[in-house]
């Protein structure tokens, strides 16, 4: 969005549009203008490409969010610029671990739009989740 002078402003988050049930863990709508940043789905891999947290959804979620943070930073962005997260999970029981890892990076009043998709599997069976991000950075 822009202010009255046309300068970029913070994304506008709308957790409960009229006629839609309120969102509790995400925003239904996020509107922003600026430079678009797309971060590919991140897995629980460390800098050397080794799996972090085999069988441990909390450890994998923490590593995935750390990878997202590093990818965003490489593009001059941060979690404050994220307007959409997409979670691909092999079991929806992993969502609380993902929410906890997300809470360490994104406060409740800045929740992005989100989608969670349960999948039969990811690129390798040891991966429990993959998360991608879309961000908008003021130009």
CATH number at residue 103: 3.30.1330.40
Over residues 35-57, the pLDDT tens digits come to: 999 999 999 999 999 999 999 99
Query: Residue 40 domain-assigned?
Result: no
Query: Residue 25 domain-assigned?
Result: no
List beta partners, residue 39. 133
Residue 37 Rama label (left phi>0; alpha psi -120 to 50; beta): beta
Residues of the chain with pLDDT > 90, as a percent, come to: 75
Query: Domain limits at 96?
Result: 47-137
Query: Residue 55 domain-assigned?
Result: yes
Query: Residue 27 domain-assigned?
Result: no
Query: Residue 41 domain-assigned?
Result: no
> Which residues lie below 8 Å from residue 124, measured CB to CB, with a gap of 6+?
none
Query: Residue 73 domain-assigned?
Result: yes
* Domain count across the chain: 1
Give me the residue label for tokens 């404050």. 80
């Amino acid at each position: 969005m822009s202010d009255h002078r046309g300068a970029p402003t913070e994304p506008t988050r709308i957790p409960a549009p009229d006629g839609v049930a309120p969102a509790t863990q995400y925003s239904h709508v996020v509107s922003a203008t600026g430079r678009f940043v797309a971060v590919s789905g991140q897995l629980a891999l460390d800098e050397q490409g080794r799996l972090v947290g085999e069988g441990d959804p909390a450890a994998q979620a923490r590593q995935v969010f750390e990878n997202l943070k590093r990818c965003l930073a490489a593009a001059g962005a941060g979690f404050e610029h994220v307007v959409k997260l997409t979670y691909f999970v092999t079991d929806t029981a992993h969502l609380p671990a993902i929410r906890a890892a997300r809470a360490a990076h994104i406060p409740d009043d800045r929740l992005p739009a989100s989608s969670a998709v349960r999948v039969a599997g990811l690129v390798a069976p040891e991966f429990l989740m993959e998360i991608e991000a879309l961000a908008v950075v003021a130009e």
